[in-house]
Amino acid sequence: MKGLTVRAAAILSILVFSLVPAWAASPPTSSTSQQDDTYDQDTILKDASDFFGNTAEGLGKLVAKAFKDQGRPNGYIKGEEASGAIGVGLRYGNGILTLKNGGTRQVFWTGPSIGFDFGGNASKVFVLVYHLSSVDKIFQRFPGVDGSLYFVGGAGINYQRKDDIVLAPIRLGVGLREGASVGYMHYTQEKTWNPF
């Protein structure tokens, strides 16, 4: 009788486990899902280095800082911009937004700033994008603080945040611009000269 009970329990166990769907037996972890939807640090550093055309010493440090502060981005923008300031500043740029899930879109940005800021520059910009669920959600204003706080080896980074979405532009360019300012970036679907 005992042997029959053991065999019946074994058969019942096999039947139960064969009926359980694979996803229920081993649910995907959030880190696996996040890794599928986001870029790793090595990929971003390689893409940014290729885009900027060199491996500036500061670039690796700024990418590492962004990953430490914000985690893994789910997208990026490759673009260029020009800016200038005498206390009050303006910035204009454009680029291509690419999300890990495959969405791409051309974007434009403008923004005013005010502060202790003087000079002008032209830059290539590689923007790390966090928590953007679709390309259309980028078209809004993102407040941020700009300045020399995150400048390393000729490259600079600042953070812009709106709700859960975070943008981290990394700039490497030519010109002379010093100081610190507060402002915002307005991302739009079409080019505009209106910074507001």
Q: Which CATH architecture has domain 36-188?
A: Beta Barrel (2.40)
If one compares 175 and 53, the residue with the highest pLDDT of the two is 53
DSSP 8-state symbol, 149: G
Read off the pLDDT band of 148 (50, 70, 90): very low
Kindly state the percentage of the chain with pLDDT values over 90.
Answer: 36
Angle between helices 41-52 and 57-70 (to 10 degrees): 140
pLDDT of residue 86: 74
- Residue 51, pLDDT > 50, answer yes
Task: Give the range among 74-83, 87-96, 168-177, 182-191 with minimum mean pLDDT.
Answer: 168-177
pTM: 0.74
Alpha carbon distances (Å) from 136 to 2, 59, 125, 133, 140: 66, 28, 20, 9, 9
* Residues with Cβ within 8 Å of residue 142, at least 6 apart in sequence: 160, 161, 162, 165, 167, 184, 185, 186, 187
- Name the phi and psi angles at 190, rounded to 5: -130, 155
pLDDT of residue 121: 72
Q: Is 59 helix (H, G, I), strand (E, B) or coil?
A: helix
- Residue 79, pLDDT > 60, answer yes
Kindly state the percentage of the chain with pLDDT values over 70.
Answer: 64
Distance CA 48, CA 178 (A): 24
